[in-house]
Every structure is written in C-alpha cells, then in structure tokens.
A and B are shown apart, each in its own frame.
Chain A
Amino acid sequence: MTLWGALAGGLVGTVLLSTTVRLAQEIGVTRMDIPLLLGTAFTENRSRANLIGYGVHFVNGLVFSLVYAGVFEATGRAGWLFGAGLGLVHGLFAGGVLVNVLLPALHPRMGTSWTDASATPLLEPPGFLLLNYGRHTVLVTLLGHVAYGTIVGAFAAGL
C-alpha cells in the first residue's frame, strides 16, 4: 500500500466522481451540482462558485483518500474490491450525513429543515440521500463513490 498511490487514486477518483455527477446532470437524471453546492458556501456569484466548488471538491477528494489510506494501513489490506466497499459506505455517509445534515448546517446560503420565514436561503436543502435533487440522485451518488473507492483502493495497492 502506498500513500502516494492513494493520493493519486483520490485525484483520479474525484475526476471520475465529478464527471459521473455532471453527466447525470446533463442527461437530466439529477439536479445535484457538487461545485455549485460547495462553491456557494463562499460566494453568491455562480460562475465563481463553480470554480471554487471544484477546487473544494478536489481538496475533499484528496483528504478522503488519506482517510482511505488510514483504513488500508490499519487493516493491513487494500485493493479495488475493499476500496469499492469503502466507497459504498462513503457514499451512504455523504448522502445521509455529510451533504444532508452537515453541509446545510454550515452553508450560509442553504436552507435546512429548520429554516423558517425569518430567512431567505438561496439553495434548497438536498434532503436525505439527496433525494430533493431527483429520485435517481442517490444511485448516481453511490455509483460515483463506489467508482472513487475502487480507484483509490486499486491505486493504493499499486494496481
């Protein structure tokens, strides 16, 4: 298992995850827009938000690859199948907690389930498993994260 391999996997995996979600957007399967969601935490300008959002997403992708590397190190095993399993857990965690609960709580422009009439957030909250952004969003998200985990696992194991 190599740390550099995990990092390289994180980079390539994030490219694949971003591309999967964008593709799903383009063909009308989901309204999930990762760079927009992340970038609008910093600015209301959508163009700038997209740029910042992609940057934040890639940093997140690298940070998570380090977490994966930690798990590989602790368990003494790596590989594409184990990585894919971690990716599935990662995807469920992202949809169930990270983007569903933590992002709205931290995001200054996103509504939450407790937003009331005293606020006018610009972004609707994603909802559990991001279902507010289209019913197939959960599948796209899980698929993207499994692909990410597969690549990180494979790269970390030296392919």
Chain B
Amino acid sequence: MMLRVREADGYAPIRDYAIVGDGRTAALIGLDGSVDWLCLPDFDSPSVLGRLLDAGKGGRLELTPVEPFQVTRRYRSGSNVLETTFETASGSARVSDAMTLLGTRLGPARELVRRVEGLSGTIRVRVVFEPRFDYGRRAARIAGGGSRFVASHRADAVSLSVWGAARTEVENGRVVGELVVAAGETAALSIGAAHAEPLVFSGRDEALDRLEATDRFWREWSATGTYEGPWQKAVVRSALTLKLLVYAPSGAIVAAPTSSLPEEIGGTRNWDYRYAWVRDACWTTAALLRLGYHDEVDAFFWWLMHTTRLTQPRLGVLYRVNGDPNVSEVTLDQLSGYRASRPVRIGNGARNQLQLDVYGSLLHAVWLYVDAGHAVSRDTAKEAAKIADWVVENWQRADAGIWETRSPPTHYTQSKAMCWVALDRACALADRGAIPDRSARWRTAADEIRSFVEERAFDEELGYVRAPALRESDASLLTLALLDWSSGADPRLITTVDGVRRQLARGPLVDRYRGQDGLEGDEGAFLTCSFWLVDALARTGRHGEAAELMDELVSLANDVGLYSEELDPASGAFLGNFPQALSHLALVNAAVSLAASESRP
C-alpha cells in the first residue's frame, strides 16, 4: 500500500510511472492515475500529453480520486494491462488501462482505454483531459459535449469518450468531469487518435471488449517465451516491456519511449531516446533469442540490415524507427523540463558521432542470428563482409565511444575491443560459409587490435582502462567478459571486473565512469552496468556473488517491475529516460547467464 506522491511542483517521481503501449507508441501513467506522456501517432511523434516535461502546459489525462486515497498497482499476470486500485474513505475502485490492439475490426488508429470498476462503497473520480499538441506548443481546440469530445490540430485529432460520467464539460481548453462509481458499477473512458485520416470513434462495449482482447494477446504472447529459470518474474516483465518498445511496423526497438528525463535533477544531461541504437543490436538479438521470441528477432534483424543499407559499410549510431538516419537535435524552449531540468531536447546529436563499437555490435548480432540457425541472404552476407572490411581500414581512428561522450574523440579501449569482436565474428561467419571469406585479412587486423589493447590499455591494478590516455576504470569494459574477448578464467579479465567493482560501484549500483565526458553536471549510476557486472561475475566463475547482486538489483525495480536508465544511489530515485530498453535487455541477459553458470558443474 502506498500513499499518493506528487510534489508541489506538479511532478511525480519517475519511479511512479508505469507504461502501456500498442507497438507504435506508449503512454506513461502515474501512481495517481494521470497519463503524463503520450506521443501520437508514433513513439517519435510530438507529445500530445506531455506533463512529464512541463507540469503546467504539457498536457495530461487525469483519472484521480477526488478524496485523499491510497493506491496499489500491478500488471495483470503475463500481460501489459495495468491495474491500479484506489481506496478512499468512501469507497474503492480498480482502474484497468491498456492501449488496445485492434485486430481486423474497424477501430481508432490509436486507442487508450481506461475502465473504472467500483469495488466497494462509492468513489468519485476526477477526469481532466487537457491535450496540448506539438510538445505543448498548441492549446487544443475542443469541440463536442456530453460524453464525446474532439480536439484537433492540423492533421492530428484526439477524441475523448466518457461513459458513466456524472458531468463533463469543456472549461478553459480542457475537458473536466467527475465519475461517480458505486460498488459493482463500471465506468470507462477512451482516448482515440488519428493522424492524417478521420477519427474512428469507440463504442463503450467495443472499447471494453478490445481491452480484454488486448489482455488475451499479451498473455498468449508472454506464454510463448521459453525462458524458465531464476528471476522468472523479472525476466517475463522485462520481455513484456521490451515488446512494448518494439515499433511493430518496422521491428525497430526504441531505447526508451521518453525524451529528456534528466540524468541529474535540474541538470542538462537530458536526451531524446525515442530512436533505435545500433549499439543495442547485439544485446537485443541475444535477449530475444534467449527468450525464444524468434518472430521478433527476425523482424528486428531484417530492420537492422535494411535500415543500415543507406550508410553501409559505414553505420549510423542511431536511426528513427521508420529507418530515417536524419535525427537532428533541437531544444524545445517552450517546455520547462522535468523538475526544471533544461533543455528539453528532441532528436539526438550523437547521430553525427563516430562510434566504433557499433560495428562489433552489428556483426555479433549477425553471428548470433546465424548461430541460432537463421539463414542470411547473399546481399546481407556481402554487406556484413564489407562492414568487416571497413573495420579493418578504420579501427585505428579515435571515436566518441559507447558512452557518446561529447569531449574530443579518443582511442577508447571498448571501441577497439568491439572492433576486434566485429572481425572475430566475421571470421566465424566466414568459417561457417555464411559470408564471403576474407578472414586472413580480418584475422590479421583482429590480432593487431588485440595487441593494441593488451599492450597499451592494461593496468595491473585496474585491469583494462578506459583508453590508453585515460588510465581509469570504465564499466563498458565489462562487455569484454560478455563478448568472449577471452575465457572467464583469464586473470586480466578478472582484474578488470574487480577493478570496475572497486572503482565504480556504489553498493549494487555501478557508475559508467568517473572521468571527464565533455558535459557539465553529474549523473546517477547506470543500471545496465550493474547487470553487466552480474553477467561478468557469472562468466568469470563467481556465481554466488553474481546471484547476490542480481537479487539486490531485482529488488530495485519500481512497484511494477520497471527500470529507468539510471538510479541515484543516495536516494534510490530513478533518473534518465524510462523505461529503458538497455536496462531490461541487460537484466534478461544477466539472468540467462546466471542460469547457465548455475547449471555448469
């Protein structure tokens, strides 16, 4: 049981949000029942409900008890349908939320359904619908009355249908109303959206039927997963969350559905994560294969290889979910930012960086895909070989590294190691006959890279260091243990894992690095690094320590099993974009590694 938490400034802790989605976009719903984030029609479209980034004029859909209340919340088992139960002095009610999946029947192009069931007594629930198009820039023109309202702006329109309201009316550019729900009664509301097409309105029964059909889909989908092992509940919740972050029309996975949730409250490290990063390709492919979701792997792999074609053999750092590599970064000065964390950015400037690690990630993904028994076409095989050739010619260059630092490029050790991974996997693929064989050339370059790392980037105390010129620990070097740089018994690898833990861990939480990165301010501990540490410990023969750490990390999720990008070790507050795909991917991969190490004699 939790008490309502929303600060006087109008913002809720990031930890208090849950996500619902439909494979095109997602909504974040606070513990008090307010939908504070929804971009329409797609993840990377402008927000229509954006209170998350501006409590005053961002836009919201409140469905909150009028009286003081207590609240509990959960996802239905194996499902992405959210259930929030409010209890007040006069009564209690359960709100079920889902973005519905349409099937073949005519329905709204995007739909959020919220069902309110009275459980005891009588409860009064306030409804406030305040859409603000174009990231809060445009107050909506609202038409309609009674139980149906339409707000529109240029080619976009959003409808609100309310069933069972005591009263609803338009007031100062918003719809306000109150639901009075007695035990045994059901009220509901639905948000429908259309872009460049007519709105399709929901009927009450159809909307509620779709909510239940959506629940059935999620249960059936989660039941097709094959993972059985420790931390099962956390793994299944991660799988369901990752599926929500898949942009279904293309198969791409967004890093997170939000933009500019800060890495430091009040700070400037606020980035837009509503795009797909090539860096995540190997972790995505590994996790989906390990969970048994082969259709999703196929869709993702086809998207990855088709999308990167425009720039191959050079790879972009990130792409829009529709495949567009143009993701220019701009600031939105009209938004005050989450708890005054400015600027709010859309687009992502990292797209212009050189990041050598992405080549290792992509070729490792190709290797995993082929190793799992999937065939690649002749075109894809040729493309993979050309990418390996590009690595041979370019691994000596300085880059921005996996962490996308905005300081001058340098020779990051992890980038070099990932170039080695790229060439090593290319050799393995050629050995399988999966891609054209130029392995003599690739192996020679791979050996040179290994010599570079071993001779110039190793320290007896710290293990592998951030860069030859930066003699400090970097948690990204844990990936060397995860990507078979050497065997788990390699003393240098063990020294590195221990060095990262000693230098960068704060309790169970691990910082990315402590040195300079060309940006002002500080940040929280990076959750992915904590899960990588679990994975690395498991792979270097320390199963007990790994399992203990995993237990601690799993307990740090929010009440519905979700993780953001970062955590403040002092307060436990979530920081950064939410929910974060990479955190959940790392959780899944760590759990599977632990299960594997447990079964080893």
Contact = CB atoms under 8 A, between A and B. Distances in A.
Interface of A: 25, 28, 30-31, 33, 45-47, 50, 111-125, 127, 131-135
Nearest to A122: B302
Contact of A114 (B109, B296, B303): B109
B257 interface: no
A75 to B, nearest CB: 33
Interface string B372-384: 0001011110000
B327 interface: no
Contacts of A125: 249-250, 322
B324 A124 contact: no
Given A30-B310, A46-B377, A117 B22 contact: yes
Interface string B232-275: 00000000000110101111100000000000000000000000
Contacts of B326: 135
24 contacts: A28-B312, A45-B377, A46-B377, A46-B380, A47-B377, A47-B378, A111-B251, A115-B24, A115-B249, A116-B23, A117-B21, A117-B101, A117-B217, A117-B243, A117-B246, A121-B250, A122-B298, A123-B302, A124-B322, A124-B323, A132-B322, A133-B310, A133-B323, A134-B310
B41 to A, nearest CB: 7
Contact of B101 (A25, A118, A124, A131): A118
B278 to A, nearest CB: 15
Contacts of A114: 102, 109
Contacts of A132: 322-324
B310 A31 contact: yes
A124 B22 contact: no
Contacts of A120: 248, 251, 295-296, 298-299
Given A46-B379, A113-B41, A116-B22, A121 B248 contact: yes
A122 B101 contact: no
A104 B306 CA distance: 17
Interface string B93-130: 00000000111000001000000000000000000000
B248 A111 contact: yes
Nearest to A113: B249
Contacts of A111: 248-251
A117 B23 contact: yes
Contacts of B109: 113-114
B309 A31 contact: yes
Contacts of B23: 115-119
Most buried by B among A116, A133, A134: A116
B311 A116 contact: no
Contacts of B243: 117
A123 B457 CA distance: 42
B251 A28 contact: no
Contacts of A46: 377-380
Contacts of A45: 375, 377
Nearest to A114: B109
A122 to B, nearest CB: 4
Contacts of B377: 45-47
A116 B102 contact: yes
> Lowest 3 CB-CB distances: which A-B pairs, in order?
A117-B23, A46-B377, A111-B249
Contacts of A113: 41, 109, 249
B196 to A, nearest CB: 9
Interface in B322-337: 322-324, 326
B372 to A, nearest CB: 16
B341 interface: no
A30 B307 CA distance: 10
Given A113-B249, A117-B101, A120-B299, 17 more contacts: A25-B309, A31-B307, A46-B378, A46-B380, A47-B377, A113-B109, A114-B109, A117-B243, A117-B244, A117-B246, A120-B295, A121-B251, A122-B299, A123-B306, A124-B323, A132-B324, A133-B310
Contacts of B217: 117-118
A124 B250 contact: yes
A147 to B, nearest CB: 22
B375 to A, nearest CB: 8
B309 to A, nearest CB: 5
Contacts of A116: 22-24, 101-102, 248
B432 to A, nearest CB: 17
B527 to A, nearest CB: 24
A112 B104 CA distance: 13
Contacts of A25: 309
Contacts of B249: 111-113, 115, 121, 124-125
Contacts of B24: 115-116
A111 to B, nearest CB: 3
A77 B274 CA distance: 53
Interface string B1-30: 000000000000000000001111000000
Interface in B310-326: 310-312, 322-324, 326
Contacts of B298: 120, 122
Contacts of A47: 377-378
B574 to A, nearest CB: 24
A119 B323 contact: no
Contacts of B246: 117
Contact of A127 (B302, B309, B322): B322
B386 to A, nearest CB: 12
Contacts of A134: 310, 324
A124 B303 contact: yes
